[in-house]
Amino acid sequence: MRHLMSPLDFTVEELEKLFDLANDIEANPDKYKHICEGKKLATCFYEPSTRTRLSFESAMYSLGGQVLGFSDAGSSSAAKGESVSDTIRMISCYADICAMRHPKEGAPMVAATKASIPVINAGDGGHQHPTQTLTDLLTIRSLKGRLNHFTIGLCGDLKFGRTVHSLINALVRYENIKFIFISPEELRIPDYIIDMLKAKNIPFEEVIRLEDSMPELDLLYMTRVQRERFFNEEDYVRLKDFYILDKKKMQCAREDMLVLHPLPRVNEISVEVDDDPRAAYFRQVQYGVYVRMALIITLLELQEG
Amino acid sequence: MLNVGKIEEGFVLDHIKAGSSLSLYHHLQLDKLDCTVAIIKNAKSSKMGKKDILKVECDIDKLDLDVLAFIDHNITVNVIKDGEIVEKQELVLPKEIKNVIKCKNPRCITSIEQELPHIFVLTDEEKEVYRCKYCEEKVERNI
């Protein structure tokens, strides 16, 4: 039995298989619509996350399975002081697979050690959010046709953004990737990531202005400057509008550059960009469902037909 | 100069960083052993200037070498039998340590989950980096 705690839990070859399956689901959804009949997914969300929870639920329903769960700690037994270990033992009796989001880092790993069903980390604090990374990778692979040989710009909050850190860790396993980190000084990419890139001889640049690096990008990954990551409101207000992608900036970009964003966006991408064919962030949401469908099938070890 | 007599059977931990013998005493749980222990602080050392020394009169098996190596693998472990040094134990950084230190990350699951062991894993042997098994927070090893 396997769990998913980090995007690096799967080898590059295993990811290829998972993405092939996701693309097959996209092309032939009917083939998979009964594959999870009689199976139940528990969504254990100790903190609210509409997007991720609905994506998991949509994925399970599209596979013919059923869903049960809770969507905040207040409505679960955690409010009465139950441990994650006890909760997952109970959930293991109710469901066949579990997706867990928890504000405490490492909580899904604790669950995985006690569970008798596969556990998927659906986000644990500022630590990991592997299904977002799988979504990003599937989107890039599906729309670009490859996961190697490109220059990717990562823009916004690179200090606290766990999606950015996870994506970098996942992409360094592919050939000929160049990173351009676009952020204000206060939200620079952490040193440990810079050290890792240097140790692996992976090219990268750190820049302050978004426009300057636009022409050389194959991909632009935008992120939100999250209010909850700041200790004081003043810093948040000062930095949140630092990098806004609009039509004018898009004019400097290549014809085939893609814009990705883990969503929700606040105002870092102007709505006028939404109709640009290079804006891929809503298609990314759809790929998020396909990759979760593929993941559920894979972890439940189900065969189509 | 202060003289502390020889021990007949046990071990001598030498070259302990000056001032850290007492914390080592607690981490090795020597307070729980019913045996003679001498804690020598700030002894003169040609190599270190000042050093601490622990002399413990009990079986070497009762010493958790993994804990010792995690705290400071430069400590010399002399095994004593019949009043003589019979062996010097090599200290190797353990791959994993359990319940020696606590994770200091307030967002870590270990801060709320009952009876969850605090486990740290050696993630970079060269730089001697340990990270929490659950949240991957790096450990500051100046204990």
* Portion of chain B with pLDDT greater than 70, in percent: 97
A143 and A123 inside one domain:
no
Both A119 and A265 in a single domain?
A: no
How near does any CA of chain B get to the CA of A244, in Å? Answer: 30
pLDDT in tens, A10-40: 999 999 999 999 999 999 999 999 999 999 9
**Is the alpha carbon torsion for A102, A106, A112, A118 positive or negative?**
positive
Selection from A105, A3, A171, A245 nearest residue B132 by Cα:
A105
Cβ pair A106:B133 closer than 8 A: yes
Per-residue pLDDT at B21: 92
Q: What is the pLDDT of residue B59?
A: 82
Q: Which residues of chain A have pLDDT under 50?
A: none
Tell me how far apart the alpha carbons of residues A195 and A201 are, in angstroms, rounded to a whole number: 10
> A120 with A24, same domain?
yes
Mutation for A interface: B119, B135, B136, B139, most A CBs within 10 A? B135
Predicted confidence at residue A231, as pLDDT, reads 67
A226 domain-assigned: yes
pTM, to two decimals: 0.89
What pLDDT shows up at residue A201? 96
Q: In this structure, are A103 and A179 located in the same domain?
A: no
Cβ–Cβ gap A127/B136 under 8 Å? yes
Domains contained in chain B, CATH given = 10-89 (3.30.70.140), 96-132 (no CATH)
Check pLDDT > 60 for residue B143.
Answer: no
In a domain? residue A141: yes
Looking at the structure, do residues A98 and A155 belong to the same domain, yes or no?
no
A192 to chain B: closest CA residue = B138
Most A CBs within 10 A among B105, B109, B124, hence the mutation to make, goes to: B109
Does residue A256 share a domain with residue A140? yes
Looking at the fold, whether A117 and A190 belong to one and the same domain comes out as no
Task: Please check whether residues A273 and A141 belong to one and the same domain.
Answer: yes
Q: What pLDDT is attached to residue B7?
A: 86
Distance between CA atoms of residues B119 and B139, nearest Å? 11
Q: Would you say residue A1 lies in a domain?
A: no
User: In Å, how far is A109's CA from the nearest CA of chain B?
Assistant: 7
Single out the residue of A102, A62, A115 nearest to residue A294, CA to CA: A62
Looking at residue A52, its amino acid is T
The answer to the question of residue A85 being in a domain is yes
Mark whether A116 and A142 lie in a shared domain.
Answer: no
Classify each residue of A275-286 as buried b or exposed e, where b means 16 or more C-beta atoms within 10 Å of its C-beta.
Answer: eeebbbbeebbb
CB A88 within 8 A of CB A119: yes
Residue with tokens 């606040």: A266
Q: What's the total number of domains in chain A? A: 2
Residues A157 and A124 grouped into a single domain? no
Report pLDDT for A42.
98
Domain of residue A87, residue span = 7-128+288-299
Residues A50 and A79 in one domain: yes
Per the CB < 8 A criterion, the answer to whether A169 and A8 are in contact is yes
Domain CATH code at residue A20 = 3.40.50.1370
Residues A138 and A258 in one domain: yes
In terms of Cα–Cα distance, which of A191, A213, A210, A194 is closest to A202?
A: A194
